């Protein structure tokens, strides 16, 4: 049975995701208004075609059908370009996190701290705890502080992968021999799930991503524990 989160967009955990959800609703409302208007005009012409000939011919209606779509495209393009710029912007990151895709698991390195690196494997169904999520939980989670700018660097060791967590608006390709980067900002604590979004082989569905967002105090304790 489908749940609310599997049908609609996941709850936002970052300002960029909030903006993407706003743009989604903004574009959907424009499309809905266009559909209603065009549907009404077409049905009116079909039912009363002799009374609505001005909708089919004349210089005025041709100008209207030309300028209105151009204005609509401007209302869609401006917020879209703004979002593209924000998604590519990296602003004074507090922590740099490197992710390496393998067949079929992820490796992580905290570049700002010495000797903090680990592999993250999916927990098999027969070892999954009662509170775990099948095909989504991993043995080693990424831990980051919330209300902090995080720089994510992604690459791959073998084939193409894609590091994706929908709730924080992150989807970036992991390409062998190339280092891609992007940044994100978490505005709340929690555990966020994602998966590889590139068809990378037979076990493509079995390399999930789990990120845990915690306070700065607990993050420092976690760093000290991992460094020891």
Higher-pLDDT residue of 43 and 136 is: 136
| Per-residue model confidence as pLDDT tens digits over 166-185 | 888 888 999 999 999 888 88
Torsion of CA 144, 149, 155, 160, to 10 degrees: 90
Q: Which CATH number fits domain 95-227: 3.30.360.10, 2.60.40.420, 3.10.129.10, 3.40.30.10?
A: 2.60.40.420
Higher-pLDDT residue of 9 and 32 is: 32
Where are the domains positioned within the chain? 13-88, 95-227
pLDDT at 44 (0 to 100): 76
| Per-residue model confidence as pLDDT tens digits over 31-71 | 999 999 888 877 877 777 656 666 666 677 778 888 888 99
Q: For the CA atoms of the chain, what is the radius of gyration?
A: 24
Residue bearing tokens 């507090």: 94
| Per-residue model confidence as pLDDT tens digits over 86-134 | 777 767 888 889 999 999 999 999 988 877 899 999 999 888 888 888 8
- Hey, what are 65's tokens? 């059908």
């Amino acid at each position: 049975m489908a749940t609310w989160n599997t049908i609609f967009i996941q709850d936002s955990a970052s300002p960029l995701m909030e903006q993407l959800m706003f743009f989604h609703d903004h574009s959907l409302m424009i499309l809905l208004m266009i559909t209603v208007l065009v549907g009404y005009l077409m049905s009116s012409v079909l039912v009363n075609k002799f009374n609505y000939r001005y909708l089919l011919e004349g210089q005025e209606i041709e100008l209207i059908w030309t300028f209105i779509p151009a204005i609509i495209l401007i209302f869609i393009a401006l917020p879209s370009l703004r979002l593209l710029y924000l998604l590519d912007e990296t602003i004074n990151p507090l922590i740099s996190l490197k992710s390496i895709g393998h067949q079929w698991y992820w490796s992580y390195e905290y570049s700002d701290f010495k000797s903090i690196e680990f592999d993250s494997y999916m927990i098999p169904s027969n070892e999954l705890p009662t509170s775990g999520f099948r095909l989504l939980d991993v043995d080693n989670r990424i831990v980051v502080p919330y209300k902090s700018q995080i720089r994510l660097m992604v690459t791959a060791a073998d084939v193409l992968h894609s590091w994706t967590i929908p709730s924080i608006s992150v989807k970036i390709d992991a390409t062998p021999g190339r280092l891609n980067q992007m940044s994100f900002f978490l505005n709340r604590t929690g555990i966020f799930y994602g998966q590889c979004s590139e068809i990378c082989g037979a076990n493509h569905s079995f390399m999930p991503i789990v990120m845990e967002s915690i306070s700065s105090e607990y993050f420092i304790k976690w760093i000290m524990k991992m460094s020891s």
